[in-house]
A = this chain, B = another copy of it.
């Protein structure tokens, strides 16, 4: 052998610690990726704390090139910071840490992608986004309306998150896609305060995107609960709701976001323990790749 002299450790090893090509340093990066592994308020299956790591691990099966958008992920310099370290069981403190991190990113003009974690993590993230962009529009993909005021007596819950968001934003600035579950009260609230779309996702998006395209500077935050697709396509999630769209439709929808001013986004509720095939995490990773390539 004797080749030790030419053997380079740096070139020969890989540590799988980051999402696909997201190995830029923080300072040089245009975008950042952060895991927010909280799952303390979920009502059925917990475990989305393992979502961010599962999405990174699954990302290696994807190419860096998006044929649909004809763009390479590597054209965008992304810094994958890892996961936020959170105090187990302390919801208030965990949300505060997330809001601080998000505020830092927006202040530093980095476009963030957050990987959940349960859906409640979107609240501090959107709060920080709204502090920077008061005109914020939120595009919300989900099976559940998440518009309750309280859930089991708690105001802060994965089931109340979009109600809190709607309360912060200007009226009708939350567009909801794929919703197929909620209480009658949530449906009533939606009719008054959000834009709950019907029909299939690509069709609904086409009309919303056309509307938003007239205000090209409008800041848009995208929040994707992976359970928006049918559990057949995302079995690794905490509260599966049958009757959703296919992964092809979600991806088609996401690719239509091209041209919008996406200032940040999150992909939440990947709960890998019930999906040994890893397709939920791979779908989430592909959604992340497509949104980065679209923006």
A46, A103, A187 interface centre (most CB from chain B within 10 Å): A46
A156 interface residue, CB < 8 Å from B? yes
Asked whether, in the complex, the Cβ of A87 is within 8 Å of the Cβ of B153, the reply is: yes
Closest chain B residue, CB of each to CB of A11? B85
Given the interface pairs A4-B103, A89-B157, the reply to whether A84 lies near B44 with Cβ below 8 Å is no
Query: Which residues from 1 to 53 on chain A have a C-beta closer than 8 Å to any C-beta of chain B?
Result: 1, 3-4, 7, 9, 12-18, 26, 34, 39-47, 49, 53
**Chain B residues positioned under 8 Å from A117 (CB to CB):** none
Q: Which of B18, B26, B83, B235 contacts A277 (CB 8 A)?
A: B235
Q: Does the CB pair A235–B279 fall under 8 Å? A: yes
Chain B residues with CB below 8 A from A286, complex form: 241-243
| Nearest CB in chain B: distance from A109 CB, A | 13
| Alpha-carbon distance A157/B240, docked complex (angstroms) | 29
- Which listed residue, B57, B84, B276, touches A276 by the CB 8 Å rule? B276
In the complex, the count of this chain's copies comes to 6
- What string of 1s and 0s marks CB contacts (under 8 Å) between A157-195 and chain B? 100000000000000000000001111100100000000
Smallest Cβ distance from A117 to chain B, in angstroms? Answer: 12
User: Quick check: is A282 within 8 A (CB to CB) of the other chain?
Assistant: yes
Q: How far is the CB of A42 from chain B (nearest CB, A)?
A: 7
CA gap between A60 and B241 in the complex, in Å: 11
Asked if A183 contacts B233 (CB within 8 A), the reply is no
Which residue of A235, A242, A244 has the most chain B CB atoms within 10 A of its CB atom?
A242
Q: Which residue of B lies closest to A102 (CB)?
A: B4
**Which B residues touch A104, using CB under 8 A?**
4, 7, 9
Q: Is the CB of B274 within 8 A of A274?
A: no
> How many Å lie between the Cα of A16 and that of B35 in the bound state?
11
Contacting pair B14 A156 (CB below 8 A): no
Chain B residues with CB under 8 Å of A63's CB are 181-183
**Interface of A toward B, CB cutoff 8 Å:** 1, 3-4, 7, 9, 12-18, 26, 34, 39-47, 49, 53, 57, 60-65, 67-68, 70, 72, 80-91, 93, 96-97, 99-101, 103-104, 107, 128, 151-154, 156-157, 180-184, 187, 230-233, 235-236, 239-248, 251, 273-279, 282-283, 286
Q: Which 9 pairs from chain A and chain B are nearest by CB?
A: A17-B17, A15-B82, A41-B89, A235-B277, A46-B46, A231-B279, A7-B100, A242-B247, A232-B232
A-B contact pairs, 29 of them (CB 8 A): A1-B128, A3-B96, A7-B103, A9-B81, A12-B85, A13-B81, A13-B83, A13-B85, A16-B83, A39-B46, A41-B89, A45-B47, A45-B273, A63-B181, A63-B183, A65-B183, A87-B154, A88-B157, A231-B233, A231-B279, A232-B279, A235-B277, A240-B277, A242-B247, A242-B283, A243-B247, A243-B286, A245-B248, A273-B276
